[in-house]
């Protein structure tokens, strides 16, 4: 009875409104801190939790009189909640990228960002400004998306080839690295996959034959050799949102053009699943999987079982590019306007797709999926392609399950039971959700006028259960005496264990990591 009431209670909370529009505060500029500030702790933080929660996100939303327009344009701010000896401190510092330093020096937007164009210096004469348009592409190094380790070092990243080495203790900027000097890529994702031995895998793109775009899987080996991965395959999902190469190459020669202007949606392409083996590295051109159009930004997990590859994704229905709805003008709107804009956007769903590996001896029109625990289907068509239909694991009107996390160290690439995500209510982050991918049961943490961030799972040392651990999330509660706090939840039931509150607003954060104390 108690469990039933608990679940119903949180289902009710998941439909809350936000008429006060406190979410606007997470899209406002803040200053960096000169030194760490102490947090007020309520509840009990587990004694074994000793380390740092590191997060990246935008922290500067305008330079001088020039605003940044898109959520992915604000200059990179690094956050750290440090947990040590039952004490918690909070610190933040802007990454000294070229984009940030030059903007601060010239008091204007100098390098074009994702959705904000940089214009020539108005102080230059007309001839200098004219030739500025023909200098070629100057790619941003604004590393606001994520942070991850490579070997013994830590890098803040975005989705260009520039990554920035940082000191995770002092948050000092150490070195800018251009991956294109070492790899044949023009851009890489900010969401790499790490094997147990420290090998980093990522996917990027490069120019192929006849000025086409090609996809490259890249591998960064660990400091010590060895391979403990259970993954035998790579799955790459090709969406119906593409970069127009001609626009991309000419964009910085045309006044006011941004990265966003180079994306185009294809309403007839649908979505393709590409499959490659890991060792040896071979693209399986014989396996052609396709399905209806959707947008995809985050994978939850992928694993192989009984001759099938199970792929769990956070999708947005249709070919319409979801990033079109993430301009700051939309996210800062009054609540009723935010809801209207979200009603025009694609509908979010958590989906499970199943890719059969053995496709050669089956009859056309037959469902090839033989797993008993999923309703996902894969049907061989006359042209040799396999049409995929998903099983929907989570769906709610304008309620997204995004920024997914799992017990990654133990269940990445393996069959698993639970995913944790940030709940988006009409694009506004207002809850944390645990999802059983087996039963579709959900648990929710939510508090009035609170805006959490991606929940990171940290396993309890020696835990034997998959969900034995805690979730860490940075939460903003505008109007509170201490409006920013680190939230610690029991990952089994999402009950609050503790919070560490600080007297400062914390802007929206995107991704990050937990660094255990050595």
Task: Indicate if the alpha-carbon torsion angle 137, 258, 328, 344 is positive or negative.
Answer: negative
Task: Check the annotation: does 299 bind a ligand.
Answer: no
Those residues whose C-beta lies under 8 Å from the C-beta of residue 281, and which sit 6 or more positions away, are: 217
Q: Beta strand 187-188 with 173-178: parallel, antiparallel or unpaired?
A: unpaired
Task: Indicate if the alpha-carbon torsion angle 209, 210, 214, 216 is positive or negative.
Answer: positive
Token couple for 142: 């604004």
Taking residue 86's Cβ as centre, other Cβ atoms within 10 Å add up to 11
Could you give the angle at the alpha carbon of 353 between the alpha carbons of 352 and 355, nearest 5°? 145
- Give CA separation, 246 vs 27, 253, 255, 432, in Å: 33, 12, 15, 41
Tell me how far apart the alpha carbons of residues 8 and 329 are, in angstroms, rounded to a whole number: 34
| Contact in structure between 217 and 283 (CB atoms under 8 Å) | no
Say whether the peptide bond before residue 280 is cis (omega within 30 degrees of 0).
yes
Tell me how far apart the alpha carbons of residues 280 and 300 are, in angstroms, rounded to a whole number: 25
Measuring CA to CA, which residue among 276, 319, 293 is closest to residue 390? 293
Task: Check the annotation: does 298 bind a ligand.
Answer: yes
| Contact in structure between 138 and 111 (CB atoms under 8 Å) | yes
Tell me how far apart the alpha carbons of residues 369 and 132 are, in angstroms, rounded to a whole number: 57
Measuring CA to CA, which residue among 447, 459, 439, 391 is closest to residue 423? 447
Tell me how far apart the alpha carbons of residues 300 and 291 are, in angstroms, rounded to a whole number: 18
Task: Check the annotation: does 274 bind a ligand.
Answer: no
Tell me how far apart the alpha carbons of residues 435 and 448 are, in angstroms, rounded to a whole number: 21
- Helix (H) / strand (E) element for 336: namely helix 335-344
Those residues whose C-beta lies under 8 Å from the C-beta of residue 244, and which sit 6 or more positions away, are: 262, 263, 264
What is the DSSP secondary structure assignment for residue 31, as one 8-state letter?
A: P
Token couple for 506: 């914390």
Could you give the angle at the alpha carbon of 103 between the alpha carbons of 98 and 107, nearest 5°? 160
- Give CA separation, 202 vs 72, 187, 190, 300, in Å: 20, 10, 8, 15
| Contact in structure between 252 and 137 (CB atoms under 8 Å) | yes
Token couple for 248: 């991309």
Tell me how far apart the alpha carbons of residues 442 and 430 are, in angstroms, rounded to a whole number: 15
Task: Check the annotation: does 511 bind a ligand.
Answer: yes
Tell me how far apart the alpha carbons of residues 40 and 485 are, in angstroms, rounded to a whole number: 9
Q: Annotated binding site: which residue ranges?
A: 191, 230, 298, 511
Q: Annotated binding site for Fe cation: which residue ranges?
A: 191, 230, 298, 511
């Amino acid at each position: 009875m108690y469990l039933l009431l608990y679940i119903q209670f949180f289902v009710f909370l998941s439909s809350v409104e936000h008429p006060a529009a406190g979410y606007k505060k997470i899209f406002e500029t803040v200053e960096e801190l000169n030194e760490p500030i102490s947090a007020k702790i309520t509840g009990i933080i587990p004694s074994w939790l000793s380390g740092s929660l590191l997060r990246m996100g935008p922290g500067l939303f305008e330079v001088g009189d020039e605003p940044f327009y898109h959520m992915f344009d604000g200059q990179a701010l690094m956050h750290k909640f440090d947990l040590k000896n039952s004490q918690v401190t909070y610190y933040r510092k802007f990454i000294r990228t070229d984009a940030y330093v030059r903007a601060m020096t010239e008091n204007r937007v100098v390098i074009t960002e994702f959705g904000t164009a940089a214009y020539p210096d108005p102080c230059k004469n007309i001839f200098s400004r004219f030739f500025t348009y023909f200098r070629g592409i100057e790619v941003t190094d604004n590393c606001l998306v994520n942070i991850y380790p490579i070997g013994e070092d830590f890098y803040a990243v975005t989705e260009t080839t520039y990554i920035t080495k940082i000191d995770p203790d002092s948050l000092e900027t150490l070195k800018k690295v251009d991956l294109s000097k070492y790899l044949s890529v023009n851009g890489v994702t900010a969401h790499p996959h790490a094997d147990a031995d420290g090998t980093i895998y990522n996917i990027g793109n490069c120019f192929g034959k006849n000025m086409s775009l090609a996809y490259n899987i890249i591998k960064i080996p660990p400091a010590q050799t060895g391979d403990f991965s259970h993954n035998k395959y790579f799955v790459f999902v090709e969406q119906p949102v593409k970069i127009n190469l001609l626009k991309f190459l000419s964009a910085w020669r045309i006044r006011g053009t941004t990265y966003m202007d180079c994306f185009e949606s294809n309403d007839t392409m649908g979505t393709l699943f590409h499959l490659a083996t890991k060792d040896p590295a071979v693209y399986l051109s014989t396996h052609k999987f396709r399905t209806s159009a959707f947008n995809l930004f985050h994978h939850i997990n992928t694993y192989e079982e009984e001759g099938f590859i199970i792929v769990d994704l956070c999708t947005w229905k249709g070919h319409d590019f979801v990033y079109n709805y993430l301009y700051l003008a939309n996210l800062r709107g009054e609540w009723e306007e935010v809801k209207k804009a979200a009603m025009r956007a694609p509908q979010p769903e958590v989906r499970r797709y199943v890719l059969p590996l053995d496709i050669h001896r089956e009859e056309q029109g037959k469902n090839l999926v033989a797993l008993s625990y999923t309703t996902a289907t894969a049907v061989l068509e006359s042209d040799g392609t396999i049409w995929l239909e998903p099983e929907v694991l989570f769906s709610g009107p304008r309620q997204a399950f995004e920024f997914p996390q799992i017990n990654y160290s133990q269940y990445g690439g393996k069959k698993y039971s639970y995913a944790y995500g940030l709940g988006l209510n009409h694009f506004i982050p207002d809850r944390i959700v645990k999802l059983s991918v087996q039963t579709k049961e959900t648990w929710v943490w939510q508090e009035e006028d609170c805006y959490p961030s991606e929940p990171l799972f940290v396993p309890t040392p020696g835990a034997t259960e998959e969900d034995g651990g805690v979730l860490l999330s940075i939460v903003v509660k505008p109007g509170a005496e201490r409006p920013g706090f680190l939230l610690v939840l029991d990952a089994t039931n999402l009950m609050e264990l503790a919070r560490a509150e600080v007297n400062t607003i914390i802007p929206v954060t995107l991704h990050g990591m937990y660094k255990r104390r050595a």
